[in-house]
A and B are shown apart, each in its own frame.
Chain A
């Protein structure tokens, strides 16, 4: 049952909702007219409000999580400690809310990743001016963030579906925001594929529900049949209906996280959407999708785990993940090779990166709890790193395309001579994507390889390594354009302060948690306690 004391546990989501409404509402009080100056003023006001708001919510969530500082039980009572105590009372732990929403450490960390990504995205948008309806633009980002946070914590089928839709619908609009040909194409394509995948997912859910009701002989009046842990409990030794439901669910979520063969929409959408929105879609929405997938598979279908060991009989979702990871890595990286458009190239690279995360899920093929926990930690670490890195890369690209007017690889030519700091930031992000030590991308990949290997999927690790080498070629192409090729003109590239800060923060993060992975690993280690396991 939902109780009044549960409210602090969903405080971040409530605050996000308030912020979104504030952003929408405050726009009314701005000066409306059709001059450019007044439009800019409205854009600035909304952008600043949402950036500051998201920053504050991030801090509140961090305080609430108690990862940096947990109030000791015997702390004296005063005004400050009372606030802190009440806040942290809603911190991680304590079961699920009505069986539908878990506020465990995984959700808490996911909130930090997602709100952080939204914060950096809106900072990128400070200087990236949406031409019309600025308030809606920022409010949609925040609405979408609420959906993602709910996705990360949802432990029940209906809430999962609602959260996915809550995330996706704002993103469809954002992708098509520019209204030009490519942006509209992105929006409509994203929408059609998204609607399709939702239908598939919903069908999978209905089968799972049907299975659960059937398992109880159809005479149950319980209303908990959509809960993931309930499904697992009823599943017993597995059953073909449940397997079908699982496959459909994987396919549905697969669209959201753009793994091959469900990736068809993503290059066009990433290329057509406004670049900061691309950064947001490719990081936050993907991260949330992975967490949904993780909870679905591990909580609802433990009986169908199977094995991905070479030579053993394949079966269950780990071998399915291994297969998806295999084709995702190969196709994602190979398809990125011939791309001439930098944004599209990064889109394929982001598809390939999804393959690495799937490799982390394969860790569940191992029967040992230790190995599985390592897998979870590796996935979450990868998501943190990937989010930071990709926001850096797309943010840098956004600045270049704003100044140069295109986002082809050749538009990056000679960037080092036109704006060295920007080129270095972009290069660090790209190298982290490529997995070059000591950047965070390297350790993230290495960790994933380790957990993949220890779960027995060493053959997949070897293939992943080979594709990493292939991927290096196209990452180096970006580097070559920036540092080696001659620039089209020597005119300096203007880098707006807000965007520079956002990219700088992500790159700093990539460096810091690459050299000192323990900064975040210490926190991520807590995700072992996942609700319902």
Chain B
């Protein structure tokens, strides 16, 4: 029994993604002049989706574990494609994360005035795709939603972005599409080489009939295909450019949720379905992620643009996620998923402070030009520092538990890599403190900053929600860890079995 009981006759998971597809269609019929109405509809439905995800989160029965709320419909039966939805502990954490980020993201979008209608349509369509990915258990369906999440990004960045937006948008889209082309090859490989002729992931995972040799060929394609989206070295270059170019809510979604899609894909599709391929390739992936973690953090040190700092810090933190995935141990996987959650919330908070509260008012994000904003907007300063503390892995914040678990997990398998990666912790501290100092505490460099407009209630509430989740999970991570642990256990177990068998 979950904490609450909900009827199982209702297709809850379909409702989740529909709850964002419906408003994106509705908004198309709202007259252009009614911008306030669009905002209310968009935010309202985002809230509904959050409520639905929380409902499922609490109704999930931890005693039974496994996949629950499963919906199965034939879609294209001739070639074994089903409409198959279901959630386990991993997807639950991701669902809640997405719900929180889209809701706060839409709160942060109330200042969009140019072409507001299109903005809301694309934004909601994007999150429809994200929700879809987290609940789908059919590889084909998974992929369809995945692509649905990528394309609106192009327009969102291209139209409402800043700083080299067209370049950023095109680069991002081409990188991600190249990744999905690799993933398609991996998918076809699984489909044909298992001989099962189905895309149903549950069936594929239950009987892994693919020979180890083919797993070795197709694992890197599927893994790297999704890893592109999670910003793994050497495919990370699109990510800081994309983050910087994107409008605030999109940066929040992008760094907060979309990059998690990639890591989620690696875990769910590649590692789950091809354990033997994973055994042989993960050490190599682990080495690559060192570069992410350390190099990403180092580059963040050298940036002058506050959004670039956050962008590279995302590369570094997602590197930790990928490293933990590559460790393949249960606690490592737990840490990876928890870090996805913690980093998602934290980055959303960062971007809402830097992109919305500061940039929209000062029109600059260059550290040397900012300064002393702590006096002008203390609230923003507090929020940024809270996010920063979590990012540094300070105990009491969500980030601490995640990084703690990650380092334990990685140590178990690759002690040397864990040691090298730990270098990133002081570097992270350094760049966060540097950013905090030069944005909020240095002397006021521009006298105009003293008369900036006040923060709006949307900014207050959005940031408060995010910050309180960071602290809540920091104080009592058991909320999430129990769920996540149940989700990752079968994958870790399977991986462990093949590793033992390989010795």
Contact = CB atoms under 8 A, between A and B. Distances in A.
Interface in B323-341: none
A465 B158 contact: no
Interface in A425-471: 431, 436-438, 442-443, 446-447, 449-450, 453-454, 458, 461-462, 465-466, 468-469
A417 interface: yes
B76 A518 contact: yes
Contacts of B78: 521, 525
A446 B155 contact: no
Majority DSSP secondary structure for residues of B touching A: helix
Nearest to B122: A483
Contacts of B118: 416, 420, 483
B37 interface: no
A465 to B, nearest CB: 4
Contacts of A466: 181
B158 A483 contact: yes
Interface stretch (A255-263, A385-393, A473-481): A473-481
A166 B140 CA distance: 43
Contacts of B117: 420
Nearest to A424: B28
Interface string B152-179: 0011001100000010011001100110
Majority DSSP secondary structure for residues of A touching B: helix
Contacts of B77: 518
Nearest to B191: A450
A472 interface: yes
B185 interface: yes
B144 A438 contact: yes
Contacts of A450: 79, 188, 191
B79 A437 contact: no
Contact of A417 (B115, B143, B155): B115
A518 B79 CA distance: 11
Contacts of B154: 476, 479
Given A476-B154, A484-B159, A521-B78, A442 B191 contact: no
B84 to A, nearest CB: 16
A129 B13 CA distance: 51
A476 B170 contact: yes
Given A461-B188, A483-B159, A436 B147 contact: yes
A517 interface: yes
A484 B158 contact: yes
Interface string A398-442: 000000000000000000110010000000000100001110001
B178 A469 contact: yes
Interface string B241-283: 0000000000000000000000000000000000000000000
B148 interface: yes
Interface string B72-85: 00011111000000
A521 B76 contact: yes
Contacts of A479: 154-155
B192 interface: yes
B168 to A, nearest CB: 12
Given A472-B173, A521-B78, A461 B185 contact: yes
A23 B308 CA distance: 66
A438 B155 CA distance: 17
Contacts of B469: none
Nearest to A443: B76
B184 interface: yes
Contacts of A469: 174, 177-178, 181
Most-contacted residue by chain A among B77, B143, B188 (CB, 10 A) = B188
Interface string B52-84: 000000000000000000000001111100000
Nearest to B182: A465
Contacts of B158: 480, 483-484
Nearest to A467: B181
B151 interface: yes
Contacts of A437: 143-144, 147-148
Contact of B174 (A420, A443, A473): A473
A453 B192 contact: yes
A480 B75 CA distance: 33
B166 A480 contact: yes
B151 A449 contact: no
A483 B174 contact: no
Contact of A465 (B115, B169, B170, B185): B185
Contacts of A465: 181, 184-185
Contacts of A521: 76, 78
Given A438-B144, A446-B184, A450-B79, A431 B151 contact: yes
Nearest to B184: A465
Contacts of B170: 473, 476, 480
A473 B178 CA distance: 11
Interface in B75-112: 75-79
Nearest to A465: B181
Contacts of B184: 446, 449, 465
B357 to A, nearest CB: 26
A450 B79 CA distance: 9
A352 to B, nearest CB: 15
Contacts of B144: 437-438, 442
A465 B178 CA distance: 9
A484 B166 contact: yes
Contacts of A438: 144, 148
Given A480-B166, A525-B78, A449 B148 contact: no
A34 B159 CA distance: 48
Contacts of A472: 173-174, 177
Contact of B185 (A431, A447, A462): A462
Given A450-B191, A461-B185, A521-B78, 7 more contacts: A420-B117, A442-B147, A446-B184, A465-B181, A466-B181, A479-B155, A480-B158
26 contacts: A416-B115, A416-B118, A417-B115, A420-B118, A431-B151, A436-B151, A437-B143, A437-B148, A438-B144, A443-B76, A446-B140, A446-B184, A449-B188, A461-B188, A466-B181, A469-B177, A469-B181, A472-B177, A473-B170, A473-B174, A476-B173, A479-B154, A483-B155, A483-B159, A521-B78, A525-B78
Interface of A: 416-417, 420, 431, 436-438, 442-443, 446-447, 449-450, 453-454, 458, 461-462, 465-466, 468-469, 472-473, 476, 479-480, 483-484, 517-518, 521, 525
Q: Enumerate the 7 nearest inter-chain pairs by beta-carbon distance, A residue then B residue, closest first.
A: A437-B144, A484-B158, A465-B181, A437-B147, A469-B178, A453-B188, A469-B181
